[in-house]
């Protein structure tokens, strides 16, 4: 008998929060790179959603909030080795962009009552 696929729950989701800081002269170009990257990522099988934010009053500082139906091991071994991720790593270096990533699991969720 074939194994049935397991249902992904919100508890199985990987949350990524990444802060990027670009130099003033590279800010506009990096914003384009980020939006193009997420246009590509949005087609990935395990991708759920992403929000891209720019700091108010501080152009060049960006925050990305991503949700994936994935785990950190698979994400690092598969997603981060995809051709577009490898290319993005090169762009970060070329544009001198600082990155501060963090990964989380959901432990609770609330909506407006």
The enclosing domain of 86 has a CATH number of: 3.30.70.100
- Specify the pLDDT at position 11: 58
Tell me, yes or no, whether 84 lies in a domain.
yes
- Nearest-angstrom CA–CA distance, 100 and 66: 14
Full domain range(s) for residue 90: 26-105
Mean pLDDT of the chain: 90
Tell me, yes or no, whether 39 lies in a domain.
yes
Tell me, yes or no, whether 3 lies in a domain.
no
Tell me, yes or no, whether 9 lies in a domain.
no
- Nearest-angstrom CA–CA distance, 109 and 112: 10
Q: What are all long-range contacts of 44-48, with beta carbons under 8 Å and residues at least 24 apart?
A: 44/79, 46/70, 46/74, 46/75, 46/79, 48/13
- Specify the pLDDT at position 1: 45
Q: What are all long-range contacts of 46-52, with beta carbons under 8 Å and residues at least 24 apart?
A: 46/70, 46/74, 46/75, 46/79, 48/13
Q: How many domains does the chain have?
A: 1
pLDDT, tens only, 7-55: 445 558 999 999 999 999 999 999 999 999 999 999 999 999 999 999 9
């Amino acid at each position: 008998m074939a194994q049935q696929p397991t249902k992904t729950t919100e508890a199985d989701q990987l949350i990524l929060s990444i802060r990027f800081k670009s130099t003033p002269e590279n800010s506009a170009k990096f914003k384009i790179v980020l939006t193009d990257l997420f246009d590509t990522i949005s087609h990935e099988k395990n991708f759920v959603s992403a929000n891209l934010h720019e700091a108010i009053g501080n152009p060049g500082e960006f925050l990305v909030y991503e949700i994936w139906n994935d785990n950190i091991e698979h994400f690092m071994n598969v997603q981060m080795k995809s051709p577009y991720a490898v290319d993005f790593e090169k762009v970060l270096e070329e544009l001198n962009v600082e990155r501060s990533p963090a990964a989380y699991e959901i432990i609770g969720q609330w909506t407006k009552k």
